Structure 1
Amino acid sequence: MDNPEMKVARFSSCRGVAFEINPTKTSPFAVTPQPEEESNGGWVWLPWAQRSSFKVFPMSSAIQRSLSRPSSHFCDLEVDEDNDDDRMISIVEDEERDIEKHMPVEAIKQDQPPKVARSNNSRLSVILLDQGLFTVYKRLFVVCLTLNVIAMVLAATGNFPYAKRKAALFSIGNILALTLCRSEALLRIVFWIAVKALGRPWVPLAIKTATTSFLQCLGGIHSGCGVSSIIWLVYALTLTVKDSENSSPEIIGVASTILSLLFLSSLAAFPLVRHLHHNVFERTHRFAGWTALILVWVFVILTICYEPIPKTYDLSISRLVKEEEFCFTLAITFFIILPWLTVRRVPVKVSAPSGHASIIKFEGGVQAGILGRISPSPFSEWHAFGIISDGQKEHMMLAGAVGDFTKSLVSDPPSHLWVRGVHFAGLPYLVNMYERVVLVATGSGICVFLSFLLQPCSADVCLVWVAKGVEQNFGKEIKEMASGFPKEKVIVHDTAISGRPNVAEMSVDAAKRWNAQVVIVTSNPEGSRDVVNKCKAAGIAAFGPIWDS
């Protein structure tokens, strides 16, 4: 009979990394030891999907090892429940019945080991809980919020009269702080200064890792200032309403509208909403923010220019520029507009080595560790990707076909895309701060690390890449970029050939062999958590992306 492609186990992929749906309770990457396959009459273990146990059968030419079809989502570890799986399983079950007819009864009656229970942890639980209740991100949030609450209590009790008189200024000041924490141009400078100042052999490792933690978790300050700005505006609005004789209905109305927009924007950024409805979060955050900025200008002008006795407005420039509120709002506007001044539409070359990923090429070299944003429509959505470049004539992005936009890159490749001219620095850029680093990537996460192999780097790096069907899914070009290096420097584990590994243990072993100062991992939330925790338990500093990186 013909040998149709069959699945012997269900797989789900995480950024292109295949995982069988039978992990241990301790780690989704752990592998249950299995007997080695023997040819010509040996025994083979077949972990049938949707069965309560494993069955052992003699090896037959009718059963061949085949590649499973990776799911269309490169991150989820969920079971793929489509009809193709059901058809593939029915084919395998038919083969099983044919084999059972010719098997000794004793073989069928052998003890069958129970199937390992699957972890029920959802990605959301990993994002919200498993990363810890006392992470640097949450500490920064608490510190920022606490300082603002203390200042407000002092103002309310009469011990901080300036804050009571300038409550609106403190709200605008918090908005400025949260804007600075998300200014990609400013952070590019901050990251560069950190690498130049601390990327020296004599700087203690503890200072480097503390700086890395802080810069990675600036989102904690961003969110803390966002909540604080709402609290200060509520306080300022309360004082204004109590002293309505010295204010105007227009000021109260504009302030109330700003408060509503800030509250809506913060609500959309709440982790549960952000995780389940990411597009809603992005668009609400963007358009509510822009509208609020316009109204802040109106509020500042009305507040500064209002004359309570004649109940009129003195709209003079000289009066405006002297006030802190005007200067703060001007700074907020500058940093918000700055990245939009660099937006342009550029030609691109898009190729799809498989239905699961696309390669987007742009002109111009880019420094290692830098990320970029692209968009099919700049006012609706932006997508961030790591950049692969040799630092010379061109750079590229590897996009896993996960959402609507990334899938469209495969099915309908565009000739042009919108880009932001200012590329931004993230966690990978801080590799340059260390001397010896192990980089761990799963699936399409490799793109953010390949540049460290293709161009000179101040750090001596070792790359561990775990992916399924490297050449089939990511193309010959990506495979060749990771080839040609000593095996101790670049470790490529193709799960379609070598099976599913324990990535956390691989990372620790590589770090010990490489004598690495730090491990940096790019994976899905659960995988990154396991690698980071395993490395820290072994006494090795490790960092991975967080939900609000």
Structure 2
Amino acid sequence: MSLPTLPTSPTSPILPSSPDSPPPMQDLSRTSITIVRPPPTAPEDKRIAHVKRQSWMTHKSRWSGSSFSSTTSATPFFWNRPRSLSISDPEKVAQLSQQSVDKAIEDDIAATEPKERDYHRQSPYWLFTMIWAHQIWWIVTALCNIPVYLRLAALPSGLERLNLVANASLINLTIVVLVRNELLLAGLYWSFNFIPFRRFYFHRMLHSIGGLHVGCAFATFLWIVFYVVELGKNTSFSTPLNIALFTTALILPLGISIIITFALRPLRERYHNVWEYTHRFVGWFVVADLVAHLALKACSLANPRDLFRTALPYLTIACVISIFYVWFTVRRAKVSINANHSVAMVKFQGRPTLDDGTFARISRNGLEWHAFSVATADFQKREFSLIVARAGDWTTKLIHDSIAREGPEHLYIRGVNPPGFMHMHHSYKKVVTICTGAGIAPALPHIAQKTSDIFLVWIGKNHEKTYGRDVWETVTSNLPSDQILLHDTGISGRPDIASLLERVAKQHEAEAVFVVSNDPYTILCANICWRLGLRCYGATRDS
């Protein structure tokens, strides 16, 4: 997909901005941001800050007709500092810092999202264009299962139909398990970098493969219900073996229904730990029950070896290996944690096995696991680091304990670390990466390892102070100054991402845009890129 043709004149028109938006940035090729803070004698309740941006065009660009220009713009804002806030209260300072970023993003969404929504609805086929890759996987699953279901439903009830339904159930269950296999995903992410054509669409379907997981999970539930009904019709309950066979079959749809119920988005978001535990432990119980059911089924046959002439035991073995092998890679690693009141830098000692674009799952007790992007990996010092931002109870407690010098000396970490969407940096030469707050973490390995030519847009507050010297030096020492744009929400307010993204993409001649933020902001940036004809990558809950 090529970028849209845009005006090349230095005086080309720009997007109109709303009355409450900051003045749009000029086309920049080299940007240095100077923050002029209010003098100490300024009034306490209303301080005025100015953000001055100067630019020098350092090379010819196909986006601009001139090779040299200089522009300066200033944006005033009023800073209301609470009188009750003490500078010595780091907890409040950190909290206000995050609130500043969140508020700026919310304001930007409120101002920009209606315009983008109205633009996309101008298309006569906008309803069809709003189908996401996640839903496409649902459609693919339905198209594969419905014809098979209709064909089997037309067969007379009997052992033949029972065995075919059992095979259909286990095929869907195996797909459910395998699409979450981290080794398989790592192989797919790596191989998709070499697709010579329509690469973005393959990436899109791979990143949304959670839709295949969900679709096949529903299909598995329906097929197993079908199987239990057929088994009840064709089983005599005169022997304990047959009763046990039917009981283990009946447990399967009950267990799967519990997993599906707590995986529904409203319950998953509200009861995240319950969702995690049911997905893991109820899932393990269902697999154990499936193994017991197959053992009983073999015993019910005249020749138990006949079961191995079907696909059922082999599909079950594939599920068991795929689910449990990762737990044999868990190790208890020594860590050193450097934390402030916003983020914690967790360093693991040992040879890094983590590549850029991957994430690691860590736990304090081996039960509750959380995934964080690999921030840095130093093969010479034999260490790698994760950035843990304050987001929930688990991360907050880790940060508090580390500041109080009561943090853990060891953490559990899984040995298999799958890549995420940021791994797709490898597919492009020039990209724009937009990060909000601690979302800088997934971008750091790509910046340090120079995976591609990156223009970084980092939206935060007091970047160096909030996220630490190590993060700051990783960014500033590996990227040219003309490819870093820091937006301080405490000074500049909302970033006006629509005009900013358009100008940065034109300036950098970007082939793709990567967004690391929350769901609403990621979707907003994706819609903007869609309008501009840019490829956009971002994390979603259903990926």
Report the alpha carbon displacement of residue 435 of structure 1 after superposing the two structures with TM: 2.0
**Partner letter of residue 172 of structure 2?**
N
Report the alpha carbon displacement of residue 491 of structure 1 after superposing the two structures with TM: 2.0
Structure 1 pair 524–58 and aligned structure 2 pair: CA distance change class (3 A):
closer
Distance of 2:364 and 2:21 partners within structure 1: 41
Distance of 2:206 and 2:23 partners within structure 1: 40
Distance of 1:215 and 1:78 partners within structure 2: 30
Distance of 1:427 and 1:192 partners within structure 2: 11
Report the alpha carbon displacement of residue 463 of structure 1 after superposing the two structures with TM: 1.7
Q: Determine the structure 2 residue equivalent to 1:260.
A: 254
Q: Quick check: 1:471 aligned with 2:464?
A: yes
> Does the 8 Å contact 1:521/1:528 carry over to 2?
yes
Q: Determine the structure 1 residue equivalent to 2:56.
A: none
Report the alpha carbon displacement of residue 540 of structure 1 after superposing the two structures with TM: 0.8
Q: Determine the structure 2 residue equivalent to 1:213.
A: 204
Distance of 2:287 and 2:81 partners within structure 1: 69
2:190 match: secondary structure: helix
1:384 match: secondary structure: strand
Equivalent position to 1:405, from 371, 394, 399: 394
**Partner letter of residue 411 of structure 1?**
H
Q: Determine the structure 2 residue equivalent to 1:151.
A: 148
Distance of 2:78 and 2:522 partners within structure 1: 39
Distance of 2:377 and 2:428 partners within structure 1: 20
Equivalent position to 1:386, from 373, 389, 393: 373
Structure 1 pair 27–333 and aligned structure 2 pair: CA distance change class (3 A):
farther
> Does the 8 Å contact 1:155/1:164 carry over to 2?
no
Distance of 1:305 and 1:538 partners within structure 2: 63
Q: Quick check: 1:369 aligned with 2:367?
A: no
Distance of 1:60 and 1:79 partners within structure 2: 14
Distance of 1:429 and 1:526 partners within structure 2: 22
Q: Which one is further off, 531-540 or 460-469?
A: 460-469
Question: Which digits, 9 at most, give the CA deviation of each residue in 1:478-528, with x for residues without a partner?
Answer: 111111332332222222344331234323322221111111101011111
Q: Quick check: 1:487 aligned with 2:481?
A: yes
Q: Unpaired segments of 5 or more residues in structure 1?
A: 1-25, 48-55, 81-114, 122-129, 308-312
Distance of 2:378 and 2:430 partners within structure 1: 21
Structure 1 pair 178–116 and aligned structure 2 pair: CA distance change class (3 A):
closer
Structure 1 pair 279–62 and aligned structure 2 pair: CA distance change class (3 A):
closer
CA RMSD after TM alignment: 3.9
**Partner letter of residue 333 of structure 2?**
V
Structure 1 pair 46–131 and aligned structure 2 pair: CA distance change class (3 A):
farther
Q: Determine the structure 2 residue equivalent to 1:529.
A: 523
1:425 match: secondary structure: coil
Q: Determine the structure 2 residue equivalent to 1:96.
A: none
1:422-437 superposed matches below 5 A: 422-437=416-431
Distance of 2:254 and 2:440 partners within structure 1: 42
Structure 1 pair 537–58 and aligned structure 2 pair: CA distance change class (3 A):
closer
Structure 1 pair 213–292 and aligned structure 2 pair: CA distance change class (3 A):
same
1:289-304 superposed matches below 5 A: 289-304=283-298
Distance of 2:286 and 2:505 partners within structure 1: 48
Q: Quick check: 1:395 aligned with 2:376?
A: no
Q: Quick check: 1:172 aligned with 2:159?
A: no
% identical aligned pairs: 25
Question: Which digits, 9 at most, give the CA deviation of each residue in 1:265-315, with x for residues without a partner?
Answer: 0111111111121111111111110000000001112223313xxxxx75x
Report the alpha carbon displacement of residue 117 of structure 1 after superposing the two structures with TM: 12
Report the alpha carbon displacement of residue 391 of structure 1 after superposing the two structures with TM: 4.7
Determine which structure has greater relative contact order: mean sequence separation of CA pairs < 8 Å that are 6+ residues apart, divided by chain length.
2
Q: Quick check: 1:140 aligned with 2:128?
A: no
Q: Which one is further off, 485-494 or 471-480?
A: 485-494
Q: Which one is further off, 222-231 or 467-476?
A: 467-476
**Partner letter of residue 400 of structure 2?**
S
Q: Determine the structure 2 residue equivalent to 1:102.
A: none
1:360 match: secondary structure: strand
Q: Quick check: 1:231 aligned with 2:222?
A: yes
Q: Determine the structure 2 residue equivalent to 1:248.
A: 242
Report the alpha carbon displacement of residue 330 of structure 1 after superposing the two structures with TM: 0.3
> Does the 8 Å contact 1:465/1:491 carry over to 2?
yes
Distance of 2:289 and 2:188 partners within structure 1: 30
Equivalent position to 1:350, from 337, 351, 376: 337
TM-score by length of 2: 0.75
Distance of 1:66 and 1:79 partners within structure 2: 21
Q: Quick check: 1:454 aligned with 2:448?
A: yes
1:483 match: secondary structure: helix
1:547 match: secondary structure: coil
Distance of 1:170 and 1:73 partners within structure 2: 53
Distance of 2:416 and 2:77 partners within structure 1: 59
**Partner letter of residue 349 of structure 1?**
S
**Partner letter of residue 270 of structure 1?**
L
Query: Matched residue pairs, number?
Result: 453
Structure 1 pair 422–251 and aligned structure 2 pair: CA distance change class (3 A):
same
1:395 match: secondary structure: strand
Structure 1 pair 138–76 and aligned structure 2 pair: CA distance change class (3 A):
farther
Question: Which digits, 9 at most, give the CA deviation of each residue in 1:213-237, with x for residues without a partner?
Answer: 0110000000001000000001111
Report the alpha carbon displacement of residue 32 of structure 1 after superposing the two structures with TM: 5.7
1:12-23 superposed matches below 5 A: none
Report the alpha carbon displacement of residue 416 of structure 1 after superposing the two structures with TM: 0.4
Structure 1 pair 474–77 and aligned structure 2 pair: CA distance change class (3 A):
closer
Distance of 2:108 and 2:79 partners within structure 1: 23
Q: Determine the structure 2 residue equivalent to 1:71.
A: 95
Report the alpha carbon displacement of residue 360 of structure 1 after superposing the two structures with TM: 0.3
Q: Quick check: 1:276 aligned with 2:276?
A: no
Report the alpha carbon displacement of residue 544 of structure 1 after superposing the two structures with TM: 1.2
> Does the 8 Å contact 2:97/2:461 carry over to 1?
no
Q: Quick check: 1:31 aligned with 2:29?
A: no
Distance of 2:167 and 2:100 partners within structure 1: 44
**Partner letter of residue 145 of structure 1?**
A
Q: Determine the structure 1 residue equivalent to 2:28.
A: none
2:344 match: secondary structure: strand
Structure 1 pair 41–422 and aligned structure 2 pair: CA distance change class (3 A):
closer
Structure 1 pair 491–151 and aligned structure 2 pair: CA distance change class (3 A):
same
Distance of 2:284 and 2:184 partners within structure 1: 20
> Does the 8 Å contact 1:41/1:59 carry over to 2?
no
Q: Unpaired segments of 5 or more residues in structure 2?
A: 1-15, 25-35, 49-75, 114-126, 402-406
Distance of 2:78 and 2:439 partners within structure 1: 39
**Partner letter of residue 370 of structure 1?**
T
Q: Determine the structure 2 residue equivalent to 1:112.
A: none
